[in-house]
Chains A and B, each alone.
Chain A
Amino acid sequence: MFPTLLIIATYLIGMYFLVFWYLSVLDKDYQAPKQGWEKINKFPSVTVVIPAYNEEKNIASTMKSVISLNYPKDKLKVIVVNDGSKDRTKEKAEEFIKAHPDRSILLLSQPNSGKARAINNALSHTTTEFFVNLDADSEVHPDTLKKMIHIFQTHSAGENLAIVTPAMMVKSPANLIQGIQYVEYMFTIFISRILSRNNSIYVAPGPFSVYRTEIIKKIGTFDEGNLTEDQEIAYRAKSLGYDIKNCADAFVYTRSPRTIKALFRQRNRWYKGGLMNAWQYKKMLFNKKYGHFGCFQLPFNFIGYGLGIAALGFFGYFTLKPFFRGIKNLFIVGFDIKPYLRNLFRFDFNILDYNFMLGFFIAFSMLIILFFLFRVFRDYQVRLSRKNIISLIPYLFFFPVFQGFTIAVVLIELVFKKVQKW
């Protein structure tokens, strides 16, 4: 009975959020990429902060993508913070600076003390109206900054708009692990548009979120002890009544983990940090003062962990349990499979054998997710290549299990108070 109740509860909850997002998309106000950014004529000063730790391979291309931004040179400053790298990151950055004497680039060095301290270090040298954090493993499209500044200048939130987030994409996915993340990031772009429309953005991703400097300095800079400081700052801004918006076509290309191990490590940090931050700001939970964010998004941020665990549970129940039962049965008959092979190709089809109710729920959820993906691929004119389709299947059926597994590990580690470092 318990698995049955769990299945029903999970589908009800999961379906509720999917239906809500679906209705949000149908809304005529659903935010399409904002037009008119090409015509902006006021260019506020911006500092791009690049914290770097052991990024000798990527730092030059990241810096190059920044100085290639379609933005007036005199309004754009760059601060690279070498966070105690053990490789040649510092030398590579110095070489780049030497090769571009016409650009305002400052190189700071600090003993290795984490990304948040590196950003705060740069922030103390920042005097521009806006600042951007760009992870050293990411690159930015030349028009991205202009598009994001345009949001700051035109959005109805005005001076209250503290952060604008980009549309992150995976840079050149080379294997299945990165392919899955490519589909995931596309899905996230889509969801971010909905969250932006509903005032519910809860994270300012490391790759190229733009901040209003004055507000960030006022609310107290980045939390150096936090695993996901880019999320904590977003929660803090929301809790203090500031707005966060997403710029749906401000593209940033990030290098995603190539191996399961690296991906697990990254997600472990994200989910652990996410849970700790949600818990830290639990006062907003179901608090009408925080509107839709407190009544819908924050509960979802908690429930999402439950859904992940449920995905893991279903995987165990529907695949591992029958698998191990099969192994046990084979053990009972001394692993003699010959008698079973006799009936292997016996045609005994009966349509009633299918579990239609469960199939209906799964098919409905999958259809909504596929609709979202189709829509985002169409909106961004990304070709649905064979590679993308191949990645789609594990993304839909196996990635939730991986997420569930990571969440389970995170919960166990939190119980035993093991906190990962950046």
Chain B
Amino acid sequence: MVDKLRKRRLTSLLITFLLFLLGVSLGMLIDKERISWSERMHADNELLYESSNIQYLLLSQLDDTESECPVLLTALEKNIVELGENLERLLNYEKDSIFRNEKAYQMQKRKYFLSNVKYWLLSSKVADVCPEYDAINILYFYSTENCPICPNQGVVLTYYKNIFQEKLLVFPIDIDLKKEEPVIDLLISRFGLTTYPTLIINNQKYEGVVYKEKLGRIICAEFTEDYPECAVYKEG
């Protein structure tokens, strides 16, 4: 009986270990699939960027942009929103994953970061070509590792993103990636960043968390058109 129980204890240990390995393998497999998904999404987005960029180049050659701009703007805004959503999903996957492939996640984040910068540049250029372009571009500098109050800024930005939808384009920049991406240093020195979070709204710098009321006023002041959502801020 004693031997039987000892044997059973050891067998249980072995089975538990195998089950654990199975669970971990499943987790790693799913993680791999998540990275592949992210790569596919990013590749799609890159293609859409190329398309938008070529549209912009063509448009910039034309004198009359009135009829062509709306097509480009719709596509551009849709792509930027999609890029943001995919990046958010990637960050959630990273947070969720216990035995993650750090290198692969880092690589993906870099790709999304570069895409964000590319889209931000394109969006700024498009604004010059298309006068009816009335979207606000926000560069949002944050740190995951060294900024405990940054999530508060994220909450306020999400709140306004939900209100203004594609009229508000947020380009998040994780400054923790600066070790790998020298572009971040360039942006930091261009805008003279010293603290995080920092928002760049139409080349204007806002340091520290910009809370709901203030950000609402800033955003609404930047719009050319009068939107009903802004009524409350304009009255104030």
Q: Which of A11, A20, A333, A342 contacts B8 (CB 8 A)?
A: A20
Residues of A within 8 A of B96 (CB): 355
Q: How far apart are the CA atoms of A336 and B23 in the complex, in Å?
A: 41
Q: Which of B15, B162, B212 contacts A332 (CB 8 A)?
A: B212
B41 → A minimal CB distance (Å): 10
Q: Which of A19, A329, A357 contacts B16 (CB 8 A)?
A: A19
A354 → B minimal CB distance (Å): 8
Contact B12 A20 (CB under 8 A): yes
Q: How far apart are the CA atoms of A416 and B20 in the complex, in Å?
A: 38
Given contacts A19-B19, A291-B2, A364-B19, contact A332 B152 (CB under 8 A): yes
Contact B5 A292 (CB under 8 A): yes
Residues of A within 8 A of B5 (CB): 198, 291-292, 296
Q: Annotate B60-98 by CB proximity to A: 1 below 8 A, 0 otherwise.
A: 000000000000000000000000010001001100101
Residues of B within 8 A of A41 (CB): none
B72 → A minimal CB distance (Å): 25
B25 to chain A: closest residue by CB: A357
Residues of A within 8 A of B22 (CB): 360
Q: Annotate B142-179 by CB proximity to A: 1 below 8 A, 0 otherwise.
A: 00000000001001100110110000000000000000
Q: How far apart are the CA atoms of A355 and B30 in the complex, in Å?
A: 9
Contact A16 B12 (CB under 8 A): yes
Residues of B within 8 A of A291 (CB): 2, 5
**28 A-B residue pairs with CB within 8 Å:** A8-B98, A11-B23, A15-B19, A16-B13, A19-B15, A20-B12, A23-B12, A24-B8, A27-B8, A199-B1, A292-B5, A292-B6, A296-B5, A332-B155, A332-B159, A333-B155, A333-B159, A339-B162, A348-B85, A352-B34, A353-B89, A353-B92, A356-B30, A357-B24, A357-B26, A360-B23, A364-B19, A364-B23
Question: Which among B22, B34, B162 has the greatest number of chain A C-beta atoms within 10 A?
Answer: B162
Q: Which of A15, A296, A336, A350 contacts B9 (CB 8 A)?
A: A296
Residues of B within 8 A of A15 (CB): 16, 19-20
Q: How far apart are the CA atoms of A291 and B5 in the complex, in Å?
A: 9
Q: Annotate A263-305 by CB proximity to B: 1 below 8 A, 0 otherwise.
A: 0000000000000000000000000000110011000000000
- Is A334 an interface residue, CB under 8 A from the partner? yes
Contact A329 B30 (CB under 8 A): no
- Is B11 an interface residue, CB under 8 A from the partner? yes
Contact B159 A292 (CB under 8 A): no
Q: How far apart are the CA atoms of A174 and B187 in the complex, in Å?
A: 67
- Is A32 an interface residue, CB under 8 A from the partner? no
Contact A23 B8 (CB under 8 A): yes
> Within residues 343 to 366 of chain A, which ones have a CB less than 8 A from any CB in chain B?
343, 348, 350, 352-353, 355-358, 360-361, 364
Residues of A within 8 A of B34 (CB): 352
> Within residues 1 to 37 of chain A, which ones have a CB less than 8 A from any CB in chain B?
4, 7-8, 11-12, 15-17, 19-20, 23-24, 27
Residues of B within 8 A of A348 (CB): 85
- Is B191 an interface residue, CB under 8 A from the partner? no
Q: How far apart are the CA atoms of A296 and B212 in the complex, in Å?
A: 57
Residues of A within 8 A of B156 (CB): 332-333
Q: How far apart are the CA atoms of A352 and B27 in the complex, in Å?
A: 11
- Interface bracket on A: 35 or more
| Interface majority SS (helix, strand, loop, mixed), chain A | helix
Residues of A within 8 A of B6 (CB): 292
Contact A357 B98 (CB under 8 A): yes
Q: How far apart are the CA atoms of A8 and B20 in the complex, in Å?
A: 9
> Within residues 20 to 65 of chain B, which ones have a CB less than 8 A from any CB in chain A?
20, 22-24, 26-27, 30, 33-34, 37
Residues of B within 8 A of A11 (CB): 20, 23
Residues of B within 8 A of A357 (CB): 23-24, 26-27, 30, 98-99
Q: How far apart are the CA atoms of A291 and B9 in the complex, in Å?
A: 12
Contact B162 A360 (CB under 8 A): no
Q: Annotate A294-330 by CB proximity to B: 1 below 8 A, 0 otherwise.
A: 0110000000000000000000000000000000010
Q: How far apart are the CA atoms of A136 and B10 in the complex, in Å?
A: 43
Q: How far apart are the CA atoms of A271 and B140 in the complex, in Å?
A: 52
Residues of B within 8 A of A24 (CB): 8
Residues of B within 8 A of A292 (CB): 2, 5-6, 9
Question: Which among B12, B26, B93, B163 has the greatest number of chain A C-beta atoms within 10 A?
Answer: B12
A200 → B minimal CB distance (Å): 9
Residues of B within 8 A of A4 (CB): 98
Q: How far apart are the CA atoms of A342 and B158 in the complex, in Å?
A: 12
A331 to chain B: closest residue by CB: B155
Contact A352 B93 (CB under 8 A): yes
Residues of B within 8 A of A23 (CB): 8, 11-12, 15
A-B contacts besides A12-B16, A292-B2, A336-B159, 4 pairs, CB < 8 Å = A8-B20, A332-B211, A334-B212, A352-B93
Q: How far apart are the CA atoms of A252 and B200 in the complex, in Å?
A: 73
Closest 10 CB pairs of A and B: A357-B27, A339-B162, A20-B12, A360-B23, A16-B16, A19-B12, A333-B159, A356-B30, A292-B5, A329-B155
Residues of B within 8 A of A16 (CB): 12-13, 16
Residues of B within 8 A of A27 (CB): 8
A316 → B minimal CB distance (Å): 17
Residues of A within 8 A of B26 (CB): 356-357, 360
A325 to chain B: closest residue by CB: B151
A236 → B minimal CB distance (Å): 22
Contact B37 A352 (CB under 8 A): yes
Residues of B within 8 A of A332 (CB): 152, 155-156, 159, 211-212
Residues of B within 8 A of A19 (CB): 12, 15-16, 19
Residues of B within 8 A of A342 (CB): 162
Q: How far apart are the CA atoms of A20 and B92 in the complex, in Å?
A: 35
